[in-house]
Structure 1
Amino acid sequence: MTRKKVARKATLLYIPHDSTRRNRFKKRLKGLMKKADELAVLCDAKTCVLVYEEGKAAPEVFPSQAEAVGIMNRFKSMPEMVQWKEVMNQKGFISKHIDKLREQVDKTQREYEDGKIRYLLHKTMHGDLSGLVGLNIEELTKVGYKVDVLLKSISERMSKIHSRTLPPAPCVATGSIDMGSPALYPAPPQQENRLDMVSSGGDLDTLVYGGYAGANFSSSDMMMQMQSFDMGFGSSPFPPM
């Protein structure tokens, strides 16, 4: 039979029946030592448990008496401020829990008042002024403060929007490439002489294999000269008569 989980709102009371109290003590003690062992393994921490049972002088010790004595001596050798840093009694625990609950209540109250003022301002902007009737000085001051906060927030947002600069216009390619001035690209050497030779009725083969070979031109240079020749005279290699 598994042990029931204790509810948070359940009230812990002293068990008056002796046998029931002793059985409950054994079960809880076993679970407490198991948790201490898990804490030591998972977190690599030094843990020990000393529990004084009712009516017994010697305590129940975990993990062993020698190890527990070593851990306690190490703890006592620490400064007093470090020893009492995380120590808390029942009164301190309850007080800390009450403070947390009060903080939650205050936060909820502030959120409720903020929503109420926003709803009132929304109605006022639509011409319904009935919500402002009957407010005292303190409530009107809160409404005015909220209006100032909202206006400041809107002004800051508008300033950020206006301060943003437009991105530069993208560069569009026109498709035409400027190759520079024609003077930067001089004509190949002896081109005019060869054109005159062809114009005067010279043989094209003699021009290619004689004049080009004598000038030690490569095949790529020869192709460039032929292209320039075609561009100058059209499809026919000879000028029109």
Structure 2
Amino acid sequence: MYRNQVNYALIEDASKRRVSYNKRLKGILKKSDEPKTLCDVEVATVIYGPYRNEPYTFPNNDVVQNTFIKSKELPTLERSKNKVTREEFTMQRIKKLEEQLQKVRKENRVKEMTNEMYEVFNRKIVLADMNPSDFNDLYVV
């Protein structure tokens, strides 16, 4: 069974918004607890919400402070090793998609040339308007 797709927009009704906030808060806390349990890593979660005066920290304030202090004390190179800006992420994504596109184009070209070869073997007429590079591609396939 699948869940209904959620429309991401501000919930106008304040009571429904608070109920949704509490449900999602539980979900986020559960998700942040999983890596700690499964992988034995330090996890710190800080959530600022409209329903509490101070931020909600998980697992507790001392652990969160110690985790952020450890993170801040790391050398700059170590701290920023896995961080990327939005532009860097976008450029990496574009590069990856372009590589995938080139791979698909190459596969399509091979399939196209294979089909041309089958037509030649079945004594169909070879297209006269083929480029010499097409003949080279037929030879490679």
TM-score higher than 0.5: yes
Letter in structure 2 aligned against 1:133: A
Residue number among 125, 129, 132 corresponding to 1:134 in the alignment:
129
Equivalent in 63, 70, 90 of residue 67 of structure 1: 63
* Residue identity (%): 24
- For structure 1, list consecutive stretches of 5 or more residues without a partner in the other structure: 151-241
Q: Residue 36 of structure 1 is aligned with which of 19, 32, 39?
A: 32
Instruction: For 2:54 and 2:118, locate their aligned partners in 1 and report how far apart those are by CA, in whole Å.
Output: 71
Distance in 1 separating the partners of 2:88 and 2:107: 29
Question: Secondary structure of 1:38's match?
Answer: helix
Structure 2 unmatched ranges of 5 or more: none
2:48–2:55 contact (8 Å) kept in structure 1: yes
CA distance in 2, matches of 1:31, 1:123: 58
Matched, 1:25 2:21: yes
Structure having greater relative contact order (Cα 8 Å, sep ≥ 6): 2
Which residue does 2:120 correspond to in 1? Answer: 124
Compute the TM-score of the two structures, normalised by the length of structure 1: 0.48
Segment drifting more, 33-42 vs 59-68: 33-42
Q: 1:60 to 1:142 in 2, by over 3 A?
A: farther
Alignment of 1:144 onto 2:115? no
For 1:50-65, what aligned pairs fall within 5 Å after superposition?
A: 50-54=46-50, 58-65=54-61
**Secondary structure in 1 matching 2:46:** strand
Q: 1:14 to 1:98 in 2, by over 3 A?
A: farther
Amino acid at match of 2:128: V
Q: What is the match of residue 74 of structure 2?
A: 78
TM-score (norm 2): 0.76
Q: Cα–Cα, structure 1 residues 87 and 28, in superposed 2: closer, same or farther, change >3 Å? A: farther
- SS of the aligned residue for 1:129 comes to coil
Q: 1:15 to 1:88 in 2, by over 3 A?
A: farther
SS at match of 2:43: coil
Q: Which runs of structure 2 are paired with 1:85-104 in the superposition (5 Å)? A: 85-87=81-83, 100-104=96-100
Q: d(CA) in 1 for partners of 2:87 and 2:24?
A: 23
- Specify the alignment match of 2:12 in structure 1: 16
Matched residue type, 2:30: K
Aligned CA distance change for structure 1 residues 101 and 15 (closer, same or farther; 3 Å): farther
| Cα distance change, pair 22–76 in 1 and its aligned pair in 2 (3 A) | same
Residues 19 and 64 (structure 1), Cα distance of their counterparts in 2 relative to 1, 3 Å cut: same
Which has more radius of gyration?
A: 1
How many matched pairs?
140
